[in-house]
Chain A
Amino acid sequence: VLTQSPGILSLSPGERATLSCRASVSFSSNYFAWYQQKPGQAPRLLIYGVSNRAGGVPDRFSGSGSGTDFTLTISRLEPEDFAVYYCHQYGIAPFTFGGGAKVDIK
């Protein structure tokens, strides 16, 4: 089970966003990813392998963590970053996602 916190993050453009994802079991692999989803769209891969940015993802997005605690950081929020974010583990089947965290405009 992946638990994301906070469920909703209200911030202003230019602020820093820190999203957390806690796993119920410790991961020894680095099979951990983050996605962004906007209404009516498929998820977009942001981070894979804990800390690798996917192609075309701006460097304001970064991922970190190990074991049971993982973090997605958006250094300076741009207007297009207000969306829902999901964490995802793909090291232990069945693969699971967090419940999502919404970043909305304060």
Chain B
Amino acid sequence: DIQMTQSPSSLSASVGDGVTITCRASLGISNYLAWFQQKPGKAPKSLIYAASSLQSGVPSKFSGSGSGTDFTLTISSLQPEDFATYYCQQYNSYPYTFGQGTKLEIK
């Protein structure tokens, strides 16, 4: 199985800041990488697919990059609604696997 490792596990930032979350795959997965946002008590929301493509309706403040084993999610100009937990997921091969999550908190 492909292991996905996110860093950091938690992150504190202020409104208006920009942040970057990293996701590393244990094997090369080309660009078959998605990012999800999850708020407490809610279902995950799809943000990005194919490493860098925004899902419909997702604001351009979210951006993704990477290929192979190393990927990043960048969020610019943080607003209160952006504070949540973020997960990466590989869909290169079954079983699909998620990173352990990065909790983004308000400083």
- A associates with B: no
